[in-house]
Amino acid sequence: MDNKLPNMDYDADEVLNEFKEKIKWPKNNEVNAVVKPSKLPLRILLSLLITVVVGAVAYYMMLPALNIHDTQMYIYLILLVVVFMLSFALVCRANKKVERKEYVKKKSLVPAIIIGVILVVMGIGYVTGITLFRAESYSQLIQVNEGNFETDFEDISYDKVPRIDAQRALTLADQQLGSLSEYKSQYVVSDYSTQINYKNTPVRVAYLEYADVFKWFNNTKDGLPAYMIIDLVSQKVTPINCIDEFGEGIKYSPTELFNEKLIRHLRFQYPTELLDTPNFEIDDNMHPYWITAVLDKTIGLFGGTDVKGAIITDALTGESQYYDIEQVKTDSSLNWIDVVYSQSLLIEQYNYYGKLQNGFWNSIIFQEDVNVASTGSGNIAMDDDIWVYTGVTSAESDSSNFGFILCNQRTKETRYYANAGAMESAAQKSATDAVQNYNYAATFPILLGIDGTPTYFMSLYGEGDTVKGYAFVNLEDKTIVGTGLLDVAKSDAGALNSALENYIDALQEKGMADDVKKEDVIVDEDKIAGSDSNSDTSDTEADNTQNSDTGDAGTVTGEVTDIKSSVNDGNTVYYLQINGKYYYISVVDAMEVLLISKGDTVTVEFDESADGEFVPATSVTTE
């Protein structure tokens, strides 16, 4: 038997150089002739097939609109040309044979010209749409009307405006999701939510996302099972189980992959449209939809972004319908839609109006009558619509506003109010300074009319992202502040009224609002949303029937057939179904409820005077 080892005597550099020789491109000085490759039609066909395959994959990932106003389309076309030429060079073995390389170079002239033409078209399209040449057109993208503060704001009551912002709303939704055992950590609440006006109540709706790609594989067949409604006034969070309510989950969403991914689903349905980021909304029956604004470029090829229509997509079935923007504005059957124009687009268009109405050079040199939206924006529910609110300041970023605007997110109606005063950030600073011992933070302010006086309203937050109180700050004089704290007032409604009373006192000390009577402004605590909400957003709508009066105590003993929970004012409330009725109680009042499961037998004490399917409980004990 031969025990000799194989010959391992080789030079690594020699092997590497040999490999380089095989793949290197020929040098120009090695060219002796230009030879047309054999079987040229076959090579061209093979190059086209490679381009089609790569182009299909690229289109699936990039999703460009087949529209001359989409820069992505031009980039996609350039990519196709480049892929074809690289494929043709490889198929012709231009890296192997010097004569083939020169042939490919000569034939690359036409593709190079095509790329050049595409770049020239893009350049011309861009130049013809810049503000330097089209300042007047940009200033006319939005029409601004004068608003009457006292008339427009008289129906906006301080007890019915949002008390939590988007971030705090999502924090509450996260807490609520964590208490829903049926979802078993498969989902997370999306970072994106939409503020809408649901049955005259400002709420945010947030869809769920798969926790990771493995959770997607495990659950995508049934879709997302639920979404969250966060009442911005009462701070109650209600999960809506789509499978229970509508018989199926949300099959199309941004969190899906492949064909069920929302933007890809829309692109295949509307290949030529410019699509904005879809908004998640619900109709009056809580049915989930995606509202996608269809954009248009009205100045040059790529400038003057505006909305020309909206696509309504059923989140459950994926069925879509396009509506012209004028129909969205006027058709009463579409009034449930709240967000078509994004905040960023409305503010961008107003800034064009404020800066360019007297010409481009004036916006840079003279700056006569030049104004822009101040930093930050909020939302106000008014006239059954959602309006973007932001202050208006000079182009030099003064420390104060000389007015503010409201922009309707469904119709783009824009109103300007010439009420000068402190910037929003200054009002936030005044509110936090008033409670500096507590280290509370203030939300972005909402502008209200307190007996006709323009006033900023803010909620105060502690470290746990829970509402700790409220503050009112005068628009004209930011030193006029009124605060109310929950720890002092012992109730949400009491803190709200306390803040308003202190604000009125501060006004009158400065010689303002002397004729204002507190009893004419203060709202009865029993009627303030948050302590007794009028919201009817879910199967937990019985929260709204809670009666502060106490009646005769009753008891019921039985098996728990269902358990639900919600987060109300930062407290978790459990709902136990016994004999067809739900009895609800806060964890703070009965810690034992955390240990109760379906099938357990419990005894519940409740107020016999309470009617309805949902009854407030006073105690819960297990048998």
Q: Is the pLDDT of residue 7 over 60?
A: no
pLDDT tier, 574 (very low <50, low <70, confident <90, very high otherwise)? confident
pLDDT tier, 343 (very low <50, low <70, confident <90, very high otherwise)? very high
- The structure tokens 């709303």 sit at 169
Q: What is the DSSP string of 104-163?
A: HHHHTHHHHHHHHHHHHHHHHHHHTTSHHHHHHHHHTSS-EEE--HHHHHTT--GGGS--
Pick from 155-164, 303-312, 487-496, 533-542: least confident: 533-542
Mean pLDDT over 165-173 rounds to: 91
Percent of the chain residues past pLDDT 90, beyond the cut: 55
Alpha-carbon distance of 186 to 208, in angstroms, equals 10
Contacts of 339 (CB under 8 A, 6+ apart): 194, 195, 196, 279, 281, 291, 386, 409, 410
Pick from 148-152, 300-304, 549-553, 604-608: least confident: 549-553
**Pair 605, 619: CB distance under 8 Å:** yes
Q: Is the pLDDT of residue 545 over 60?
A: no
Of 22-36, 410-424, 533-547, 589-603, which one has max mean pLDDT?
A: 410-424
Mean pLDDT over 312-324 rounds to: 97
Q: Is the pLDDT of residue 268 over 80?
A: yes
Asked whether the CA dihedral 362, 367, 371, 372 is positive or negative, the reply is positive
Alpha-carbon distance of 478 to 442, in angstroms, equals 14
Q: Which two tokens stand for residue 617?
A: 């409980």
Q: Report pLDDT digits (tens) over 249-267.
A: 999 999 999 999 999 999 9
Q: Report pLDDT digits (tens) over 81-124.
A: 999 999 998 888 876 666 677 788 888 899 999 999 999 999 99
Q: Taking the chain, what is the end-to-end CA distance rounded to the nearest angstrom?
A: 85
Q: Report pLDDT digits (tens) over 203-235.
A: 999 999 999 999 999 999 999 999 999 999 988
Output the CA–CA distances (angstroms, integers) from residue 33 to 38, 94, 199, 335, 559, in the order listed: 15, 13, 80, 73, 93
Helix (H) or strand (E) holding 447: strand 446-450
* Number of CB atoms found within 10 A of residue 574's CB: 21
**Pair 278, 217: CB distance under 8 Å:** no
pLDDT score recorded for residue 60 = 97
Q: Is the pLDDT of residue 412 over 60?
A: yes
Quick one: CA torsion of 490, 492, 493, 494, rounded to 10 degrees?
30
The region, left, alpha or beta by phi > 0 then psi within -120 to 50, assigned to residue 297 is beta
Q: Distance of alpha carbon 109 from its chain centroid, rounded?
A: 47
pLDDT score recorded for residue 4 = 52
Contacts of 330 (CB under 8 A, 6+ apart): none
Write down the pTM of the prediction.
0.79
Nearest to 278 by CA among 287, 265, 268: 265
Alpha-carbon distance of 312 to 314, in angstroms, equals 7
